[in-house]
Amino acid sequence: MTNLKDLSQDIPGHDLKLLGSAPYVYHCHHFNLFHDQTVEDALGQEEGFKIRSQAARRAAWHLISDAVRAKGAATPVERLQLAASIFSWMGQGSLELLADANGGSARGDHLHYSFAWREKYGSKVRRHFPIDAFAAGFAAAATEVAFDLTPGMLSPGEKACFACRQPGCEFEIVPASESDPAEPVDSETLKRHVRTPGTGIEEHRITQITQGLNEFLLGVEGDHRGLVQGFGIFITRHLSGYYDQTAYDTIHFIEKQAPQATTAVESLFGESGHVCVFNTFGNLLLSPEWEGLVGPVQGEVEEIVTSCAAIARSLGFGHWTVEELIPGERLVMHSTSNYEFPFYLETYGKSEKPRCYFFANAARAIMQLAHRVDWPSRPELTEDLYLNLFKKGLKWDIEETCCCSKGDDFCEVVVTKRK
């Protein structure tokens, strides 16, 4: 596999990660499946697949183009091989690209979305519609870059899907009805929109942990399947533009076509913050790697909250700070950079309301974990425990009092004990 570590970098002080100039973050399969299911539930299966594959193609086109220039991949074969290596390095599985300038096909094995869906839901639910929209969009983008085609000239579809209990995943890549030359939300975009980094409670501790986690995560490699499995989860290095495009396009569609459902859809995208903090943050805190880097978790509220701020930074979620913490009563978190508001401002302009759904709800989930989980007993983070914490016993209310997507100088989330 091509060495891609030299393409990975951070935007100093802002805790945002780049591969070339493309922003990326770490997210686990629980989050990825929940996010895509929310898009699908809101828009329907066919339209949801179209929106997701289009977002994947846009984000991946700029990523692959950057890598091709950096690595000097000159021929179509070299470019397709490089794209396949990037796909596996991201933890997305193995992708074989069989295409020419007119399109073609692709085959996928152990694709993150379909494989993880079968692992999580396969024994309970039978799926009948393909799920691998990200892989489909990535395959189309790789083909466009390989043959120097205009972005958006090709359109992908999934003909067979492992999540639907078929042997493997098969894609077709055909000419699109119209091109889609969207401008990238890249490193320069992020630098234009982020604010001056702030400091908060236990800044030294958070910074130290973040540095250690950054070094550890950069060394994490995928296995022979192209999957990254650890801490009891499947991890991806994923393009944040994919999450942003799919979430905001879905919400804007609902705002226009079914405004009465807007709050429900926004709440579901917000719940993805609960899903991520519980599964990704929680499993990291309980991992041997965390114990070796930081020490065993004692379970004190301030320890959990500041540890979670460090985890968020190391995953590329942005510069999160703890401004105020009163155990049992209140948490105030700030963010002068995250992966949500720069995309929103660049793509849609200034908003009339807060738009950092993930950040706001992640803050609430952090307080729930800090107060409701018995960390010294090293509990298993099961689906039953998640439902008990976030469906039956949620003890906190949130208000996003400031948001950079509105033009504020920082994002602020206030978490208070529910009365």
Report the 3 state secondary structure along 177-208: CCCCCCCCCCHHHHHHHCCCCCCCCCHHHHHH
Query: Which structure tokens are listed for 355?
Result: 């738009």
DSSP string, 126-189: ---S---HHHHHHHHHHHHHHTTPPTTSEEEEEEE-GGGT-SSEEEEEEE-SS---PPP--HHH
| Residue 6's pLDDT band (cuts 50, 70, 90) | confident
- Distance in angstroms (rounded) separating the CA atoms of residues 54 and 189: 20
The string of pLDDT tens digits covering residues 218-244 is 888 889 999 999 888 999 999 999 999
The count of C-alpha atoms lying within 13 angstroms of the C-alpha of 176, restricted to the half-sphere facing its C-beta, is 22
The string of pLDDT tens digits covering residues 197-210 is 999 999 999 999 99
pLDDT of 171 > 70? The answer is yes
3-state SS assignment for residue 111: coil
| Ordered strands of the 233-239 beta sheet | 8-11, 16-19, 22-28, 233-239, 228-230
Where in the chain is CATH 3.30.1380? 5-175, 187-226+261-417
- What pLDDT shows up at residue 100? 94
3-state SS assignment for residue 119: helix
Residue 224, amino acid: H
Torsion of CA 106, 38, 317, 310, to 10 degrees: -120
- Distance in angstroms (rounded) separating the CA atoms of residues 47 and 55: 12
- What pLDDT shows up at residue 228? 95
* β-bridge mates for residue 338, sequence order: 318
Cα-to-chain-centroid distance, residue 45: 20
Place of tokens 């990825």: 32
pTM of the model: 0.96
DSSP string, 20-69: TTEEEEEEEHHHHHHHHHHHHHHH-HHHHHHHHHHHHHHHHHHHHHHHHH
8 A C-beta contact, residue 332 and residue 240 = no
- What pLDDT shows up at residue 232? 86
| Ordered strands of the 411-417 beta sheet | 318-326, 330-338, 411-417, 396-402
- Sign of the dihedral defined by the CA atoms of residues 163, 164, 168, 171, in that order: negative
- What pLDDT shows up at residue 212? 96
pLDDT of 2 > 70? The answer is no
- Distance in angstroms (rounded) separating the CA atoms of residues 381 and 28: 14
Q: Report which of residues 4 and 223 the model is more confident about.
A: 223
Domain 5-175 matching CATH 3.30.1380: the answer reads yes
Give the end-to-end CA distance of the chain in Å, rounded to a whole number.
54
- 187-226+261-417 folds as Muramoyl-pentapeptide Carboxypeptidase; domain 2 (3.30.1380)
Average pLDDT over residues 31-50: 97
The string of pLDDT tens digits covering residues 100-138 is 999 999 999 999 999 999 999 999 999 999 999 999 999
The string of pLDDT tens digits covering residues 361-375 is 999 999 999 999 999
Smallest CA-to-CA distance from 317 within 332, 337, 331, 333 is with 337
- Distance in angstroms (rounded) separating the CA atoms of residues 138 and 160: 16
Looking at every residue in the chain, the average pLDDT score rounds to 95
- Distance in angstroms (rounded) separating the CA atoms of residues 27 and 295: 23
The string of pLDDT tens digits covering residues 291-332 is 999 999 999 999 999 999 999 999 999 999 999 999 999 999
